[in-house]
Structure 1
Amino acid sequence: MKTMIIYKLTTLCLTGALCFSFGGIKVEASNLSSFGEEGIASVLTEAHTADPTIDEKVVDELTPSEYEGICIAQVNDYVNVRSLPNEEGEILGKLYDESAGTIEEEVDGWYKITSGSVTGYVKGDYVVTGEAAETLAEEVGSRVATVTTETLRVRSEASTEASILGLIGEEEELTVTAEEGDWVQVSIEEGDGWVSKEFVDLRTDFVQAESKAEEEARLAKEEAAKEEGKRKAAAVAAKTGASQNSVLGNGGGSSSGNAVASFASQFVGNPYVYGGTSLTNGADCSGFVMSVYANFGVGLPHSSSAMRSVGYGVSLSEAQPGDIICYSGHVAIYCGNNTIVHASTAATGIKYTSPANYKNILAVRRIF
């Protein structure tokens, strides 16, 4: 512990980020740099003698906030990022509501920030900074665990002795709901379970600014996906004939989307098999969606995380039969009437679930 603290003290004093007091001794960055490691160790030893719990206190005090220097937009839609700290500056991009950036400097009520690929100025009235931003970051940031092993065992408790709640494949991205020592709690279809940090990569995601070029590219990609969807829908219509409503009688959406939902519904009651792709003998969640769409000539990845970027995005309120609903570690097909059909778990197999937002929805993707 002491070696780690000395390292922290040395690192922080060299960056000029240190001014603190403990054990009755005040230490500033301006004079700590002259102490050297031996001097720092001496200061720490003296402080530790005065207060035996000083090791833990120093670590807490000297660990910078993960979100230090962050700013977060608080607007109805977005705030423009400009080339100059005034309204005359060229618009370089957009910082959307609850998007985050890193503050580089403040100029006359404007902040120069970097967010994503965009560096420019935003008006201070539209962003939260300082401790308020660090607190807000905990709410708007998404903690994500990416699986780094071929098959991850998600356990009911933070112990290798605990029962296995579910299995998740490599490169899947899971929403983190809690952290405890060497373990993180993640959300999967079977519920919230625990995985060792040894088998995942952790990160915190924030929505970031979008440059004008990125916005144009995104809109063009979405338009191309819609045109491709129309082409595929025409092919499906030719194959299936007249318009079909989903099994649940929603009646909304395209004939091709309803055809997908109706076809998927035929397999309710069949088994769930981890890694499987058979609609009759067993499939996992992404294998089920992949195989349903394969019947209509559409190739999809065998990964719930990868399916978050297929087709184009719509909101849940706009969802139509055939849309793909993406969750943490899970994926389903929307049937209409706020209901999904999915390969749920080994215990339940392929089934209907309502409402569709029975757990947090990460994306709704439309193919047709």
Structure 2
Amino acid sequence: MITKKKAAAWCCVLLVSAQASMSGASEASAVPEISTEMVTEVQMETEKKQETEKQTETEKKTEAETEEQTEEQTGTEAPTETEEQPETEEQPETETSPETEGQPDTGTQTGTEGQPETGTQTGTEEQPETEAQTGTEEQPETEPVTENGSGTETETEDSTETGTETETEAAEEESDREPEAWRSYGSWYGGYPVYPAGYFHTFRKDYRFTRTEKVYGLVRGGTGAEVYEEMDEQAEVVGKVPYFGLVYILQEEEDGWLYIESGDVRGFLKSSRISTGSYADSVVREIGEEHFALGRMQCEKADNSAYTYTHTTVYEVVAQKEYALARYTGDIYEYQNLTSRAVGHAASGCLLYVLESDAWDTGWVYVESGDVRGFVPESGLISGNIAADVISADGEDSLKTAEVYIEPEENRSCYYSLKSVQAAASSEPGEQIAEYALGYVGRLPYIWGGTSLTDGADCSGFTQSVYAAFGIAIPRLAEEQGAYGYEVGSLEEARPGNIIYRASGPHVGIYLGNGMVVECNGDSSNTAGNPGPGPTVSPVTYQPVTSIRRYLPETVLYTAGNGGSRTDGTAYTQAQMELIWAVVAQEDNGSYEGALAVISSAMNRTESPVWASRGSNALAQLTAPGQYCYSVDSYWKPRLGGNVPDYVKQAVADCLQGGIRNHPYTCFRSTRGSQTGPDAVQIGGNWFFGN
């Protein structure tokens, strides 16, 4: 509905535009009347026309295909439909159990495997087959369950099209399983959408800057200090700061290099060229920042690759909104002339924000509209109270923004000003993690049990490896990734890079923002010879979300302790610690050395390629199915009765917190034999072996 206020505001716009047109403004043409009803009517007519054209084209195509099929079938017998193969009830295992009970996960093996025994294990070395393996070894007709646990089965055999099935029927079947709202986005696999690589191109690092605290430096030496494009004194000089000039230290680098900014100069200089610390702080406070000379550029910002080495600055980055509307349809330019490259396009009535104005000197204004930043003639804008009234009446969100011709990163005028009306996205690594994960869409296969970002990974192997690329250690299994880290209360609070965990499956992915998630999808049948689709992008709500977890650099699970080995940084509850103590005490044979040996074996397993899939912390290894006493029997609880020997607590603390281990082995038995091998070592009564 158009209110009187809106109508009055737009009348002012049209009046001003018409006057400019009548006065002979060279670049202004007759301004079309901007009306909500007219826009809606035009849209409806356009859609109707497109629908009619599409229907006509479809009818012509169908007629042509029918004639072609008729010609092909003349004198030829109609092919017989293939008999549909019955489905088997048994299905390969899902993400939670990629191996039989007590069997280490090798990533690709599907049969049973000998189980390395702990001190309490008895009986035959081979575990019985699991329920899904009791039939024949190969079941090509079985339809594997997808990893996300959606319950939707994925067809594994190619059905041959028959001559009696038309393309229309195939399309109808397709529409039965594809929600209408998502159909145009991509193909489908196992009940969830598979988007093409590059579809969600908007998840890129924000080009805007964030403001940081000021760390002062004063140039010493009579000749001033040169600022380099790289951390090399033979590199290109991008600017120079005069003697006693002021620089702001943005980041300390190796070998005495500093990344600084001073005025419009951004680059590297040696720390030996400036005075810092309390001396610089006191001098700047005494004299005042405004009285110090700043650096001078010796090249254009766009030619300085060091300009965006970080996206931080000490200067103001969020601009006060100064509204303007495009008086007429036209381009936004990279430089202050009409012959320069157009970086964007603004339709009549488009919303623009004025960031810098040289109208008095050059007649040009530097503006921002969406992700377009560049110059427009001041005469092409409607600003002041008229623009403010229109925006007040319609609201900013209802107005169009400029169309991007050149992406900000390629726009040489992008950093003419560091200000923006929008604050930069979070500088947390989550944004970069999301961008990095998105880069594997369409490029990485799903391999059950895999953790490689080149050869293939499963869902949790993918998320773990992506995080590892940023120096952040997260657990290996999906259930663990959904349990540790910082808890995020709801999807509304989720940020890009957060772990999305679904208990059904179980399944994990990385949140991209805007309600989307990237997940490495496939199922337990996918091996190197039969890979699954891999990372795909889907709406985060396609299945219920069990938990959302945030992992940051400070949530890294492991560090090296004084003992030299990796520690277990998991924040265990009191109940969990008591469980660890109980299992260790059950196995230790009554000594500190024995207890330390048991807990050492559990921590060694977290680093073993054979055992790491069972868990990335001590508790997960100690309670893994078929391992240690916890899973073999329940004797541990009545044996201790809640009383834990002090030596057990000390051994567990020394290993988990102090990084102390007394052997490198992963398995043990109470007696030495053929399974332990001749190189087994006896510690605390048990014989330790294997890796």
TM-score (norm: length of structure 1): 0.36
Higher strand share: 1
Higher alpha-carbon Rg? 2
1 or 2 for the larger relative contact order (CA 8 Å, sep ≥6)? 2
